[in-house]
């Protein structure tokens, strides 16, 4: 997971490369998340100015989409699928295991790992599924979950 | 001497269970043992339960090995992998695997077979033939063929694609758009993903046909953010098509201009609803629009717009290549052609099964799926995603036919089938349906925004046995209000799974008490 301090100059370059037009707002925010990890108040201010939108309009879009987090994530992000196919294969138990073993609840984070629910990763023939730092893993049981966590912890 | 071709899928599900590691191990081992190989990263055949599925080309035959792990590779090489040698994991020739050969692969026939990001391979497998034929026969002929084929929208609503295309073609205006809904958010579905990862150029050809037919010069693919690999494959496919003159101005000297832009979603389920998707494509929050006006008349940026699902669009090239009549000869009643069913949840052999309409849910679950993964009896199957009804074990004999499903208050939707064994508590599933609606509601209409939250509360009271009977009646009433008064399918169809639980699994409310949510 990339988390970099917000940089106005970099942001301007991203806006220019995606397209400095109001209809590109969602796509610019997607690019901001990839680059900075979260949407800062400065980003909202800058987008409003550069796209000629009100801050309220930008804020409305940011707050609508689940992906546009407005607080910094941990260095690593683990998403555990909560949707029906994974439920049928024990995702409720897996989520409970994840919360217990990491010592955090969904939507919160340890120093370096953010734990989040996700509603379908499209890996439903390999349920339950988990996404770690943007990579999807299938047939994840508690043991495999712990291995995935150890791997990212070793990476630091 | 030609190097032996080895195929290892570059597809999300295969990679999620180790296909990348397998590919690396094969490359390393081949190098270390001095064997020249050509590693091809194909798409998936859709037999996901066999992933990672490795194939070796021997004398023009592709020999498959299933559930290969990186740790197996040295053993496989020792057993003569490069000659298709015997091994516990050897499945035999890919074109003899029962799960695959018993399907009707109309739309997914190139998935697994070809190298997804090779224009040459695509063209060697009839790629762009349909488009070239369309350039000769003209746009009306394309629309007529789609109408004649009986193809209906595969995203869930089942609206006849040809009529939609005709409406857009007939709508006045210079600027028109083709938008592809790749926001595959329904749990239990992954056919759009398998198609885009395995045959991205096939989708582009379908979009070109749609654009040519209706007179659009721009196309958009709205892809969900949960599919990062699909994104990189689609991005490259669009670049490839541009580089080779299959997208852009004056395509192959035809005078037809068309380009495609890939837009990425941001985790909103409702953006799979067509008008919310259009809002999102315009850079706004994905809040649904009132209909009318229909998107075909006033869609993206207020212009006439085709909105179709990935599979709908990708089905069109073969409608042109093989004939609309032939497509219409598959299926039953008003459900013509094939659908890519997806077997998911508690299933032994999960994956994609493209089959003509009319097959029953039970046949899919038993004959292809091999029953539950746990080996326990099937308790219920949710067909059509989170807004689809839970079918009882008795209802599994319902043929997959849009109208037959409507008759039992269920829907086929995008063709996902999620199987639950007898350990599932259906009251929890009803609660989840309401909870999911509360999380994902766009908030525009009250029945969906407020009703879903009240629904969770009512179900919690039923589970806790507070006036269970009164709350049952209240929940029925709430479902009726949501169904009748919501703006879109999110609030309007969340009652389907809830009602099916009330009707067929009511006893689960009593046994749900004290169980973890």
Q: With beta carbons under 8 A apart, name residues in chain A contacting B285.
A: 60-61, 64-65
Mean pLDDT of A31-60: 97
* β-strands B335-336, B338-345 pairing: unpaired
Contact yes or no for A23 and B282 at CB 8 A: yes
pLDDT, greater one: B2 or B85? B85
Q: Which among B261, B322, B313 has a CA at the least distance from the CA of B129?
A: B322
What mean pLDDT comes out for the span B270-299? 97
Band (B514; pLDDT cuts 50, 70, 90): low
Instruction: Tell me how far apart the alpha carbons of residues B357 and B339 are, in angstroms, rounded to a whole number.
Output: 7
A83 contacts in chain B (CB < 8 Å): 187-188, 386, 436
Mean pLDDT within A104-126: 94
DSSP string, B475-498: HHHHHHHHHHH-SSHHHHHTHHHH
- Would you call B223 helix, strand, or coil by DSSP? strand
Average pLDDT over residues A99-125: 94
Q: At what angle do helices B191-198 and B200-214 cross, to 10 degrees?
A: 100
Q: Which residues of A touch B436 (CB under 8 A)?
A: 83, 119
Backbone phi and psi for residue A76, each to the nearest 5 degrees, phi listed first: -120, 145
Task: Answer positive or negative: Cα dihedral of B461, B467, B470, B473.
Answer: positive
3-state secondary structure of B503: helix
For tokens 């190098």, name the residue. Answer: B31
Q: Which residue of A has its CA nearest to B281?
A: A23
Q: What is the DSSP letter of A133?
A: T
B-chain residue closest to A95, CA distance: B517
Query: Is residue A147 within 8 angstroms of chain B, CB to CB?
Result: no
ipTM above 0.90, yes or no: yes
Cβ pair B17:A61 closer than 8 A = no
Q: Which fold has domain A76-155?
A: Glutaredoxin (3.40.30)
CATH number of B4-101: 3.40.30.10
CB contact under 8 A, A88 and B419: yes
Structure tokens at B404: 């037959």
pLDDT at B341: 98
pLDDT tens digit sequence for B39-55: 999 999 999 999 999 99
Q: Is residue A1 pLDDT above 80, yes or no?
A: no
User: What is the signed CA dihedral for B144, B145, B151, B155, rounded to 10 degrees?
Assistant: -80
Mean pLDDT of B142-162: 96
Chain A nearest-CA residue for B417: A85
CATH number of B426-511: 1.20.1440.230
pLDDT at B517 over 50: no
pLDDT digits (tens, 9 = 90+) for B89-99: 999 999 999 99
3-class SS of residue A61 = helix
Instruction: Of B276, B286, B420, give the one whose Cα is nearest residue B361.
Output: B420
In 3D space, the residue among B91, B18, B96, B48 whose CA is nearest the CA of residue B343 turns out to be B48
d(CA B382, CA B416): 8
To the nearest whole Å, the CA of A35 is away from the closest chain B CA by: 15
Confidence of residue B2 (pLDDT cuts 50, 70, 90): confident
Distance between alpha carbon B393 and the CA centroid of its chain, in Å? 24
What's the CA angle centered on A102, arms A100 and A104, to 5 degrees?
75
User: Would you report the helix, strand and coil content of chain B in percent, each value rounded to 5?
Assistant: 45, 15, 35
CA atoms within 13 A on the CB side of A1: 21
Task: Enumerate residues 6+ apart whose C-beta is below 8 A from B24.
Answer: B70
Q: What is the pLDDT of residue B1?
A: 57
What is the mean pLDDT of the segment spanning B155-180?
Answer: 97
Domain boundaries, chain A: 8-64, 76-155
What are the C-alpha distances in Å from B267 to residues B226, B280, B428, B440? Answer: 7, 11, 24, 9
CB contact at 8 A, A57 and A48: yes
pLDDT band at A2 (very low <50, low <70, confident <90, very high): low
Distance from CA of B322 to the nearest CA of A (A): 30
CATH value of B119-328 in 3.90.1150.10, 3.40.50.11540, 3.40.50.2300, 3.40.190.10: 3.40.50.11540
Domain spans, chain B: 4-101, 119-328, 331-421, 426-511
Q: Which CATH architecture has domain B331-421?
A: Roll (3.10)
- The reply to whether residue A119 touches residue B343, judged by beta carbons under 8 angstroms, is no
Cβ–Cβ pairs < 8 A, chains A and B = 158
Q: Quick one: pLDDT band at residue A29, thresholds 50, 70, 90?
A: very high
CA distance B208 to B200: 13
> Residue holding tokens 């766009």?
B442
| Chain-centroid distance, C-alpha B87 | 33
Rounded average pLDDT over B449-458: 98
Start-end of H helices in B323-358? 324-328
Residue A4 has a pLDDT of 77
B202: nearest Cα among B237, B232, B154: B237
Q: What is the rounded CA–CA span in Å between residue B483 and residue B182?
A: 25
Q: Largest Cα–Cα distance of chain B, in whole Å?
A: 78
pLDDT averaged over chain A?
95
Q: Which two tokens stand for residue A40?
A: 């800062």
> Encoding tokens for residue B6?
């080895």
Alpha-carbon torsion (B270, B106, A122, B357), positive or negative: positive
Q: At what angle do helices B191-198 and B228-243 cross, to 10 degrees?
A: 40
Quick one: tokens of A71? 């607080």
- Residue B285 in tokens: 């929050």
pLDDT in tens, B171-220: 999 999 999 999 999 999 999 999 999 999 999 999 999 999 999 999 99
Which H/E stretch holds residue B211?
helix B200-214
Residues A52-87 have pLDDT tens digits of 999 999 999 999 999 999 999 999 999 999 999 999
Q: What is the pLDDT of residue A155?
A: 84
Instruction: Tell me if chain B has a CB within 8 Å of the CB of A84.
Output: yes
Contacts of B192 in chain A (CB under 8 A): 122
CB contact under 8 A, A67 and B266: yes
A155 or B219: which leads in pLDDT: B219
Going from the C-alpha of B30 to that of each of A88, A108, B26, B74, B120, the distances in angstroms are: 40, 45, 6, 9, 26
**Residues 6 or more apart in contact with residue A150 via CB below 8 angstroms:** none
Over range B306-320, report the average pLDDT: 98
The alpha carbon of residue A57 is apart from the nearest alpha carbon of chain B, in Å, by 8
**Among candidates A24, A25, A122 on the partner chain, residue whose Cβ is nearest the Cβ of B190:** A122
Q: What is the DSSP letter of B359?
A: B
Nearest chain A CA: its distance from B397 CA (Å): 21
Note whether A122 contacts B189, CB cutoff 8 Å.
yes
CA end-to-end span of chain A: 12
Averaged over B432-452, what is the pLDDT? 98
Q: Is B380 helix (H, G, I), strand (E, B) or coil?
A: strand
Chain B residues whose beta carbon lies within 8 Å of the beta carbon of residue A24: 283
Q: Which of B283, B352, B436 sits opposite A23 (nearest CB)?
A: B283
E strand segments, A21-110: 76-81, 108-109
How many Cβ atoms sit within 10 Å of the Cβ of residue B120?
A: 11
Neighbour tally for B138: CB within 10 Å: 12
DSSP string, B45-79: -S-GGG-S-EEEEETTEEEEE-S--GGGHHHHHHT
Distance CA B8, CA B19 (A): 7
């Amino acid at each position: 997971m990339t988390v970099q301090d917000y940089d106005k100059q970099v942001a301007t370059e991203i806006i220019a490369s995606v397209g400095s037009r109001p209809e590109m707002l969602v796509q610019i925010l997607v690019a901001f998340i990839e680059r900075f990890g979260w949407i800062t108040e400065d980003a909202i201010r800058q987008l409003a100015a550069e796209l000629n939108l009100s801050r309220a309009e930008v804020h409305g879009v940011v707050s609508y989409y689940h992906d546009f987090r407005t607080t910094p994530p941990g260095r690593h992000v683990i998403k555990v699928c909560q949707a029906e196919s994974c439920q049928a294969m024990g995702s409720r138990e897996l989520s409970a295991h994840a919360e217990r073993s990491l010592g955090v609840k969904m939507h919160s984070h340890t120093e370096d790992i953010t734990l989040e629910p996700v509603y379908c990763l499209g890996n439903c023939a390999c349920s339950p599924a988990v996404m770690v730092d943007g990579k999807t893993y299938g047939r994840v049981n508690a043991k495999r979950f712990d291995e995935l966590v150890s791997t990212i912890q070793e990476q630091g | 001497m030609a190097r032996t071709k080895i195929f290892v899928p570059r597809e999300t599900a295969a990679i999620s269970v180790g296909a990348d590691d397998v590919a690396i191990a094969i490359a390393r081992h081949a190098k270390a043992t001095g064997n020249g190989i050509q590693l091809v990263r194909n798409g998936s055949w859709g037999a996901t339960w066999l992933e990672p599925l490795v194939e070796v080309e021997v004398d023009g035959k592709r020999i498959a090995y299933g559930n290969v792990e990186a740790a197996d590779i040295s053993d496989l090489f020792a057993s003569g992998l490069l000659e298709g040698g015997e091994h516990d994991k050897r499945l035999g020739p890919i074109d003899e695997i029962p799960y695959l050969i018993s399907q009707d692969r109309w739309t997914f026939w190139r998935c697994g077979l070809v190298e997804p990001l090779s224009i040459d391979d695509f063209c060697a497998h009839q790629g762009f033939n349909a488009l070239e034929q369309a350039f000769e026969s003209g746009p009306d002929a394309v629309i007529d063929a789609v109408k004649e084929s009986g193809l209906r929208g595969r995203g869930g609503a089942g609206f006849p694609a040809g009529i939609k295309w005709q409406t857009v073609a007939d709508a006045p205006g210079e600027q028109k758009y083709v938008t592809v809904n790749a926001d595959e958010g329904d749990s239990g579905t992954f056919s759009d993903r398998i198609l885009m990862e395995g045959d991205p150029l096939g989708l582009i050809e379908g979009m070109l046909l749609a654009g040519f037919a209706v007179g659009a010069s721009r196309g958009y693919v709205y892809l969900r953010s949960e599919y990062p690999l699909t994104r990189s494959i689609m991005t490259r496919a669009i670049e490839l098509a541009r580089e080779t003159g299959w997208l852009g101005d004056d395509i192959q000297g035809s005078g037809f201009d068309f380009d495609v832009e890939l837009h990425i979603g941001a985790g909103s389920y409702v953006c799979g609803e067509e008008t919310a998707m259009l809002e999102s494509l315009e850079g706004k929050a994905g809040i649904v629009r009132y209909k009318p006006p229909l998107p075909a008349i006033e869609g993206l940026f207020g212009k006439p717009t085709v909105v179709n699902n990935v599979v709908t669009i990708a089905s069109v090239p073969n409608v042109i290549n093989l004939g609309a009549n032939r497509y219409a000869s598959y299926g039953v009643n008003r459900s013509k052609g094939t659908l890519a069913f997806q077997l998911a949840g508690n299933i032994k052999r999960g994956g994609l099964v493209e089959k003509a309409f009319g097959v029953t849910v039970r046949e899919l679950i038993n004959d292809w799926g091999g029953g539950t993964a746990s080996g326990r009896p099937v308790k219920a199957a949710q067909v059509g995603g989170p807004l689809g009804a839970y079918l009882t074990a008795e209802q599994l004999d319902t043929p997959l036919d849009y109208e037959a499903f409507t008759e039992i208050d269920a829907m086929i939707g995008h063709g996902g089938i999620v199987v639950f064994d007898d350990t599932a508590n259906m009251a929890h599933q009803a609660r989840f349906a309401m909870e999911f609606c509360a999380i994902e509601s766009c908030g525009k209409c009250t029945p969906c925004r407020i009703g879903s939250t009240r629904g969770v509360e009512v179900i919690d009271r039923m589970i806790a046995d507070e006036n269970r009977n009164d709350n049952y009646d209240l929940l029925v009433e709430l479902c009726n209000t949501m169904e009748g008064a919501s703006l879109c399918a999110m609030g309007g169809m969340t009652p389907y799974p809830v009602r099916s639980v009330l009707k067929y699994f009511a006893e689960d409310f009593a046994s749900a008490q004290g169980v973890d949510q």
